Amino acid sequence: MRIEKKAFAKINLTLDITSVLPDRYHGIFTAMQTVDLCDGVTVETTQAPGISLTCDNGTIPCDERNTAYKAAAFFTEAAGITEGVRIRIEKRIPSQAGLAGGSADAAAVLRGLQEIYPGKLSEQALFDIAFRIGADVPFCLAGGTRLCLNKGEVMAALPCLEAWVVIVKPEENVSTKEAYARFDSAAELFHPNNNEFLFYAAAGEYRKALAYACNTFEALCEVPSGEVIKSALYAGGAYYAAMSGSGSAFFGLFEDEAHAQVAAEALRASFPQVFVCRTTG
């Protein structure tokens, strides 16, 4: 059986590092939003046992280091599946960008296998596997607009945000591990007003909510072109712009497609990876 899935990217409308947890992981407060920039993921069962993975991007590992590979391995083990699984990924989401491309691919594999083997695993079991793979995978499995807390596994649905989005991936790449290490050594950081953000976001008043939003990682990550990108997004009509995740991609939110397209076209003169997309549920 063969299933084709779309693996949707995410952006962080706000992102705060709130604490260091007892297990030494970092606690976060973030609102994540699915956008329709996506990878294509094909999941297929085979008679030959084992997992095989191919990708049209030669820089992506295709072994057990890949999150989509891990998703298939964990699912088949938990469900007692003896058939083999073949995965094909067509990449469009930039890597090392804070857009959860790898997590989205893993979530797509889990959903694909759930469709191939209905009833083998409960929804809770699927989310347990997702969290084993990575902090963003549970959100990618759920999608939409969600408040995510703790290590990302505690989620609550928020009213849907409807907006056009311009995403810009500069040449710089950012290591999430190194970004968190900088947080641990930082003397002082600016934090968003999480209470005010949540008050307005819970009512769907995102223009008000975003006045209290920011991404704490922007002060921790060395992305020299970030301010240039944000300035260009605002100049092009964005009503909010920020870095996504631990970077290095930046995004701007727009009221309409026309302004988004004009802003994107201006940015393409300096940055080859510019995407125009929409938020999605």
pLDDT given for residue 159 in this prediction: 98
Q: Does residue 248 have a cis bond before it (omega within 30 degrees)?
A: yes
**Which residue is catalytic, options 16, 39, 105, 136?**
136
Q: What's the half-sphere exposure (Cβ side, CA atoms, 13 Å) at 83?
A: 13
- Mean pLDDT of the region 58-84: 97
Q: Is the dihedral of CA 61, 63, 67, 69 positive or negative?
A: positive
Contacts of 190 (CB under 8 A, 6+ apart): 214, 216, 219
Q: Check if 5 is active-site.
A: no
How far is the C-alpha of 249 from the C-alpha of 243, rounded, in Å? 6
Residues 35 and 99 in one domain: yes
- This prediction's pTM: 0.95
**Boundary of a domain, candidates 142, 157, 172:** 157
Q: Using the predicted structure, report yes or no on whether residue 20 has a pLDDT greater than 90.
A: no
| 251-266 pLDDT tens trace | 999 999 999 999 999 9
pLDDT over 80 (residue 174): no
Mean pLDDT is lowest, of 17-26, 205-214, 250-259, for 17-26
Asked if residue 250 and residue 139 are part of one domain, the reply reads no
In the beta sheet, which residues pair with residue 147?
31, 156
Position 90 pLDDT exceeds 80: yes
Neighbours of 69 (CB within 10 A): 23
83 and 182 co-located in one domain: no
pLDDT per position as a tens digit, 41-52: 999 999 999 999
What is the rounded average pLDDT of the residues 175-204? 83
pLDDT at 281: 87
Q: What is the CATH number of the domain that holds 135?
A: 3.30.230.10
Which of 157, 190, 222 finishes a domain? 157
Q: Exposed, middle or buried: residue 156 (CB in 10 Å: 0-12, 13-18, 19+)?
A: exposed
**pLDDT in the model for residue 187:** 65
What average pLDDT score do residues 195-200 get? Answer: 98
Asked whether residue 46 falls in the same domain as residue 145, the answer is yes
Could you confirm whether 169 is annotated as catalytic? Answer: no
C-alpha closest to that of 69 among 43, 92, 96: 43
| pLDDT (tens digit per residue) in 210-251 | 999 999 999 877 788 999 999 999 999 999 999 999 889 999
- Residues 128, 243 share a domain: no
Residues 151, 169, single domain; the answer is no
Please give the residue range of the domain that contains residue 114.
2-157
Residues 178, 86 within the same domain: no
More confident residue, 7 or 224: 7
* Residue bearing tokens 């709130």: 18
Q: Are strands 84-90 and 51-55 parallel, antiparallel or unpaired?
A: parallel
Domain boundary among 99, 122, 157: 157
Over residues 171-189, the mean pLDDT reads 74
Q: Report the number of secondary-structure helices (H) and strands (E) in the chain.
A: 9, 10
Torsion angle, alpha carbons of 35, 41, 45, 48, to 10: -140
Grouping H, G, I as helix, E, B as strand and the rest as coil, residue 46 is: strand
Catalytic residue among 5, 10, 70, 230: 10
Say if residues 78 and 62 touch (Cβ distance below 8 Å): no
Same domain, 141 and 176: no
Domain co-membership, 130 together with 42 = yes
Question: Does residue 120 sit in the same domain as residue 196?
Answer: no
| pLDDT confidence of residue 26 | 85
The answer, yes or no, to whether residue 178 has pLDDT greater than 80, is no
CATH number reported for the structural domain that contains residue 178 in this entry:
3.30.70.890
Across 95-114, average pLDDT: 97
- Are 50 and 89 in the same domain? yes
| Rounded distance between C-alpha atoms, residue 10 and residue 36, angstroms | 9
Q: Are residues 143 and 182 in the same domain?
A: no
Q: Residue 21: its pLDDT value, please?
A: 84
User: Which of these ranges, 67-76, 104-113, 184-193, 233-242, has the smallest mean pLDDT?
Assistant: 184-193
How many domains does the chain contain in total? 2
The pLDDT value recorded for residue 22 is 87
